Amino acid sequence: MEYFEKQAAGPVELIGQGMEGAVYDLGGGQVGKVWFNRTPDEVLPLQEFLDELKAQDLPFRTPEISAVDEVGERAVSIEAKLVGTPLSQALESGRVSQQQGLDMFVDVVAALATTHAGSASRTLPVVEESAPFWRYRVSWGDALAGLVSRRADKSQHYLQADVEGFEELVDHVLAKLALLELRNLQIVHGDICTPNLLVDDDGRLALLDWGFYTTAGDNTFDASTAAGFYDMYGPDARAIDDQLLGRFEELGHDRGRMYLYRAAYAITTATIYSEDGSDGHYTWCVNNLNREDLRAAL
């Protein structure tokens, strides 16, 4: 695109495309991102958040936005390029073993447990909402309950048919969230999956795609979702999920709270990729909401 060509130090090449935007290599250690559904005013808080994140001194690299602009009513940003291979590809090629990959996931979640959420992390919207997740909310549990309630209303036509006792389940989730009292909040990534974790030739990690579910919250939320995201659709998905849940439990994360957050995530994102529930993510969410061990914990 012409805007990026003016900023580029070399040929502009498409690197990849995700839910929120398309990323282009600009050369000179920089990338450009075209945001699909965000205005510059909506990206600027993310820039401020990434500055807050950088100050956490994490053991892995994170994105940095150097400029935000608008082209054709869409936000564009210039960011430092994070080099490496997505963990999903590294696992598929055998460059990273399954055990190494699992260890990386545990290490990333454990590192995020050391963060301290500041004001910038509270200004971000999550999922596909436009207002900040923390707007008018006084606690993490209250904010998450509000999101669950809104998204349950939006998806109930499909989830009522596919999830046994869906309305009762939502009531249980909301009641449990209302009881949460957390004094110290961490920075939650919210989408720790193998495509979002880069591994370079020296084994260094970088965590991408902050913003979809990023906020100030409970590190146990990342433990819960990361365990389920490592392998969502493979034949060993449930066994790997259970293994990671067990490892996070050993680190001090409560199993019942992890199930609570898994249910909250499934309710809030079930129809995020297809409004009619026709994709694999919806099926993953339904399967989690119907899990006997999860339902027993609620």
**pTM given for the model:** 0.94
The C-alpha atoms of residue 283 and residue 266 are separated, in whole angstroms, by 10
**Residue linked to tokens 């999956």:** 193
Q: In the predicted model, is pLDDT for residue 18 greater than 80?
A: no
What is the model's pLDDT at position 246?
Answer: 98
In tens, the pLDDT along 220-257 reads 999 999 999 999 999 999 999 999 999 999 999 999 99
In tens, the pLDDT along 175-219 reads 999 999 898 999 999 999 999 999 999 999 999 989 899 999 999
The larger pLDDT score, comparing residue 39 to residue 228, is at 228
The C-alpha atoms of residue 184 and residue 97 are separated, in whole angstroms, by 35
Q: 286 CB contacts (<8 Å, ≥6 apart)?
A: 159, 162, 163, 266, 270, 277
b/e code 173-182 from CB counts within 10 Å (16+ = b):
bbebbeebee
Collapsing DSSP states into helix, strand and coil, what is residue 177? helix
Return the number of other C-beta atoms located less than 10 Å from residue 23's C-beta: 20
What is the model's pLDDT at position 38?
Answer: 83
Q: In the predicted model, is pLDDT for residue 278 greater than 90?
A: no
What is the model's pLDDT at position 128?
Answer: 84
The C-alpha atoms of residue 101 and residue 194 are separated, in whole angstroms, by 8
Residue 77 burial class via C-beta count within 10 angstroms: exposed 0-12, middle 13-18, buried 19 and up: buried
